[in-house]
Structure 1
Amino acid sequence: MNEPILTFKMPLEKRVFDILFSFSVLVVISPLLLLIVALIKLTSKGPVIYKSKRVGSNYQIFDFYKFRSMYTNTAQKLKELAKTNNQYTQGKDNMPNLQQKCKDCLRENTECTRLIYFDDLAICDKVFSLSKKELDKRAFNKISNDPRITPFGNFLRNTSLDELPQLFNVLKGDMSIVGNRPLPLYEAEKLTTDQQALRFMAPAGITGLWQVTKRGKKEMSEEERMELDNTYAQNHSLLFDLKILLKTFPALLQKDNV
């Protein structure tokens, strides 16, 4: 007999709190929201709200709201900049020193695997594979001084004000004030094991356990983040939410976005 599929059901008290809290905050900050809307329209062309597909509790897909912080022609901007700035390209100058590494391999009395030729360099297959991993890892780093972001958008991101439209997600029932961050589709589809999927047995939230735990830590591994998401999924309650919410405000003062 197949085991029943577990699903998350929003507790009534949590949903009531979400509605009252998000509505109250929206009323209080409505002048700020109007000011942000006006400044976005004045500083760049395009819609005020940016929507992206995210995966929340029970793998439900919804439109995730943010204030737009990028120019609308971002692809063209990157193409133009790539011609003059190697920060956005992977040219020969950005390659690891493959020839030197191969000599090191030989110096350690380790036999080189079959030679391959890369940009007129004869290197062993093993060293090339290791160097390629370094390049792949480097590709995931965020671009500094990203030209796609508007000056005002950079301010919105640094202050986390771009997240305010998610209060409307909370009113709609897509998200909760406190929960696990909703994931982009390409990230969610990689979480296939029972241990990884446990995080979806909790509401998607604006803030959460890993965001407030991140404060004071320079880096957090994916394993640590998954463990915190699972901890919240197994222990969420209104009291736990209130504790996380109280820790969120000082966390907003840190340099990195939460």
Structure 2
Amino acid sequence: MSGYKRVKRVFDVTASLSGLLVASPIMLLAAVALKLESKGPVFYSSPRVGEGYKTFGMIKFRSMYTNADKQTELMKKLNQYQQNGVIESESKGCPFCEMLNRPCSPMLVNDNETICENSFIMRKDTMKPAAFFKISNDPRVTRVGKFLRLTSIDELPQLFNILKGDMSLIGNRPLPVYEAEKLTTDHAIERFNAPAGLTGLWQVTKRGKETVSEQERVELDRTYAKKFSFKTDVLILLKTIPALFKQENV
């Protein structure tokens, strides 16, 4: 471990302990709200790929319905249905809403096909495959979960990951395995030379922007991996709080 990495680790432990102490009332309220709204655990552990392709379980407040992982696979099938010309039945309801255990609403007519609005959103947002996978207006997200995401409260449990040493306070965001597997070029894998972080250069630079390309994200991650230092981390930390108040479109 290099000299700065030792300093960075000491700071991470101190900051995560302090953060957990200060944020504990907010985290308690979030846990109660999640339990009152929907069934399932309060926390969600997602397999993520960090520095040096190390895989670990990243902890977040659960913001989706409990079967969201299965729904992710279903979204891919829904996209395939559209390409193959398969039409869903109006009377039976779409498989997505059946999995959510709720009625389809509202019904839309698209290219002479009657489909549920939730299915339409999934099809529209998954048409273009990319390394970074994100859906706007995701119907898998609960109402409480949407608020937790907008305020970034859902990220607070990652302070436990920082305390364990899985992550750093500042670094490149750890990626889901299916996203990391798509970044295989010598150019792209340089982003994995940096610690996995709770906040980072990409978040403070592009949060609130209307569109962010996959290439832009990779370039920002590579930039941090090549140049991260005490000065860089301090600047990112100072920009993080203002960035939280920007609407997230990235």
Q: Counterparts of 2:50 and 2:67 in 1: how far apart (Å)?
A: 29
* Partner in structure 2 of residue 177 of structure 1: 169
Contact 2:4–2:230 (CA<8 Å) still a contact in 1? no
Q: Counterparts of 1:22 and 1:181 in 2: how far apart (Å)?
A: 17
1:88 to 119, 130, 152: 119
Distance change in 2, residues 1:153/1:9 (3 Å): farther
* Structure 1 residue 238, shift from structure 2 partner: 1.8
For residue 142 of structure 1, what is the amino acid of its counterpart? I
Q: Counterparts of 1:203 and 1:60 in 2: how far apart (Å)?
A: 10
Are 2:246 and 1:228 aligned?
Answer: no
Distance change in 2, residues 1:8/1:142 (3 Å): farther
* Partner in structure 2 of residue 57 of structure 1: 51
* Structure 1 residue 182, shift from structure 2 partner: 0.4
SS where residue 65 of structure 2 aligns? coil
Distance change in 2, residues 1:86/1:172 (3 Å): same
Contact 1:69–1:156 (CA<8 Å) still a contact in 2? yes
* Structure 1 residue 84, shift from structure 2 partner: 5.2
SS where residue 136 of structure 1 aligns? coil
* Structure 1 residue 10, shift from structure 2 partner: 7.5
Are 2:221 and 1:250 aligned?
Answer: no
Contact 2:42–2:61 (CA<8 Å) still a contact in 1? yes
- Higher-Rg structure is 1
1:72 to 55, 59, 66: 66
Instruction: Provide the TM-score with structure 1 as the length reference.
Output: 0.73
Q: How many percent identity over aligned positions?
A: 56
The alignment covers a number of residue pairs equal to 210
For residue 136 of structure 1, what is the amino acid of its counterpart? M
Q: Counterparts of 1:203 and 1:218 in 2: how far apart (Å)?
A: 27
* Partner in structure 2 of residue 22 of structure 1: 16
- Which runs of no fewer than 5 residues in structure 1 stay unpaired? 1-6, 96-133
Contact 1:157–1:257 (CA<8 Å) still a contact in 2? no
Bigger Cα displacement from structure 2, 228-237 vs 74-83: 74-83
1:139-154 mapped onto 2 (5 Å cutoff): 142-144=135-137, 146-154=138-146
Bigger Cα displacement from structure 2, 162-171 vs 192-201: 192-201
* Structure 1 residue 257, shift from structure 2 partner: 6.3
Q: Counterparts of 2:208 and 2:248 in 1: how far apart (Å)?
A: 10
* Structure 1 residue 72, shift from structure 2 partner: 1.5
Instruction: Provide the TM-score with structure 2 as the length reference.
Output: 0.75
Distance change in 2, residues 1:138/1:18 (3 Å): closer
1:39 to 22, 25, 33: 33
* Structure 1 residue 138, shift from structure 2 partner: 8.7
- Which runs of no fewer than 5 residues in structure 2 stay unpaired? 72-94, 99-103, 108-113
1:199 to 191, 209, 227: 191
Q: Counterparts of 1:30 and 1:84 in 2: how far apart (Å)?
A: 43
